[in-house]
Structure 1
């Protein structure tokens, strides 16, 4: 159980680091299609290389001739990952970053609600308390409490909520589908699905127009590692161990990391109130996990 907690936590931290590099890529003039396409493409390539290398060096052989989940279902499930990137990056363009983060963080209660509606799994009292703490801490840590939100773009709000739903769907599918696959293969199949979806919506012109000779190659690889390699791989291994509800709470680590990266790397002003929100979110993540953290490793 503790291993699953740590995997999901570090996967969420990787997502938090991602947003800083996405902003830097946009600063260099690249488009939504360039960023999402490069992220998915390089992510799929890296994951498949790692999988075939692991299979070759470890002598892995597919002993399970019968698969419960067909390949095509894994690829289809991976479209949720692509949708998260598309919707969230578009949301950031239309509303303030603080509001976009708050909208994305709604995946916490959405995933618990989906777990209850679809699988009839009731959240525990500690999980419900943690959700309320996370939402309260999100308002503080994102700067929402200090911002003027009188003028909000309704389209941006819609994209943010769609990103949250997609993220909740990704968590649910990651924990329920394809657990019989090796984690690397499972992650590679899902990111391949994300790549196909993004290429259909945004034809990969960046491969042919010379964009990769600039900084897009650098940003594409970095964003791929932190956005489409580490999180899906860690989630593929961690979510089935601890369940969707607990994973959704731990995934809130994304916001504190994003705030810290904004302060240290992007040199953005981070007030004491925002740091207080970070502490509230961290306490919310610890609360439902105390019984696991007390166990000897």
Structure 2
């Protein structure tokens, strides 16, 4: 366990957390869902493949090559769910406040537990059930349900948020069970390539021909690609092996307060005290199930 590993995982989580704010700013300049998701996926794929090829070129000739068992097409197909996450989450951000959209995305925690039970017959532990209850209570508070503002959240926006959470949970399940023998950069590049293909099929990349890249779309696409598809995989690939999966899961929850804070500071969205309490409840729910595993890991390392 090293400070470097902790900082890397935190950087990756915080990088994810600022995406929704940048997406809102891009929408404010008139860009569409296809522009935002398409440029992020395209630039992300180009950057990841470039870094991977450079890394492979500078590796020593005697560097051991991994034994590949998973066909690359499976990783590209798994990347479709990354594309679905981007499409549904960024559409959610378009319809409701970014500070609420991130709350809906965090529902992937209990959805992941449900999927494990359905597909792998893995019963949730008591701490997981308690965490799910906390997440549901925290979601109600953090969403602003108790605020008497007279404005209702978009039902479609809420729906897209839950679809994003479901797709993210499926992606995590596939990511944890497919292609672990690949170098992390290559695996990420293959998945982002799949995401790019799916996005281009659903929303053809008109920005490549209509001159949008000559404007600020180039800037937003690069920002979203760097903070959404390049920095997190690189940080997690380097940081998680240093500190372990359990502590990494706890630190990754930093994405939530970062996203809500950016929404309040940059977008001037109202996040009152009760909503912050909801955020804290959700964070607590995400941390508690991992504390026991962290204690076990620490005691094991001492022995």
Whether the TM-score (by the shorter chain) exceeds 0.5 is yes
Give the SS at the match of 2:82.
helix
- 2:27 touches 2:94 (CA, 8 Å); kept in 1? no
Alpha-carbon displacement from aligned partner over 1:30-61 (angstroms, at most 9, x marks no partner): 00000000000011011111111211223375
Matched residues in 2 for 1:230 and 1:149: separation? 40
| Change in 2 beyond 3 A, CA 1:214/1:150 | closer
Moved more, 199-208 or 211-220: 199-208
- The question of 1:141 aligning with 2:149 is answered no
Matched residues in 1 for 2:237 and 2:70: separation? 14
Matched residues in 1 for 2:133 and 2:251: separation? 14
- 1:186 touches 1:236 (CA, 8 Å); kept in 2? no
TM-score, structure 2 as length reference: 0.83
Report the counterpart of residue 191 of structure 1 in structure 2: 192
Report the counterpart of residue 111 of structure 1 in structure 2: 112
How many angstroms does 1:154 deviate by?
4.3
| Change in 2 beyond 3 A, CA 1:257/1:144 | farther
Moved more, 266-275 or 15-24: 266-275
Report the counterpart of residue 225 of structure 2 in structure 1: 224
Alpha-carbon displacement from aligned partner over 1:218-260 (angstroms, at most 9, x marks no partner): 1111111222223345566759x648xx95x765543322111
Matched residues in 1 for 2:155 and 2:47: separation? 37
- The question of 1:70 aligning with 2:71 is answered yes
Moved more, 151-160 or 14-23: 151-160
Give the SS at the match of 2:93.
helix
- 1:94 touches 1:156 (CA, 8 Å); kept in 2? yes
| Change in 2 beyond 3 A, CA 1:268/1:155 | closer
Give the aligned CA root-mean-square deviation in angstroms: 3.1
Report the counterpart of residue 126 of structure 1 in structure 2: 127
| Change in 2 beyond 3 A, CA 1:171/1:148 | farther
Moved more, 175-184 or 134-143: 134-143
How many residue pairs are counted as aligned between the two chains?
Answer: 292
TM-score, structure 1 as length reference: 0.85
Matched residues in 1 for 2:217 and 2:164: separation? 24
How many angstroms does 1:290 deviate by?
2.6
Aligned pairs (5 A) from 1:130-169: 130-146=131-147, 151=152, 153-169=154-170
Give the SS at the match of 2:51.
helix
Alpha-carbon displacement from aligned partner over 1:164-203 (angstroms, at most 9, x marks no partner): 2111111111111110011111100000000011111122
| Change in 2 beyond 3 A, CA 1:113/1:5 | farther
- 1:82 touches 1:194 (CA, 8 Å); kept in 2? yes
Report the counterpart of residue 54 of structure 1 in structure 2: 55
| Change in 2 beyond 3 A, CA 1:6/1:70 | farther
| Change in 2 beyond 3 A, CA 1:159/1:262 | closer
Unaligned runs of 5+ in 1: none
- The question of 1:202 aligning with 2:203 is answered yes
Give the SS at the match of 1:78.
helix
| Change in 2 beyond 3 A, CA 1:13/1:41 | same
Aligned pairs (5 A) from 1:208-247: 208-233=209-234, 238=240, 242=245, 247=249
Give the SS at the match of 1:145.
coil
Aligned pairs (5 A) from 1:276-295: 276-291=277-292, 293=294, 295=298
Matched residues in 1 for 2:144 and 2:254: separation? 16
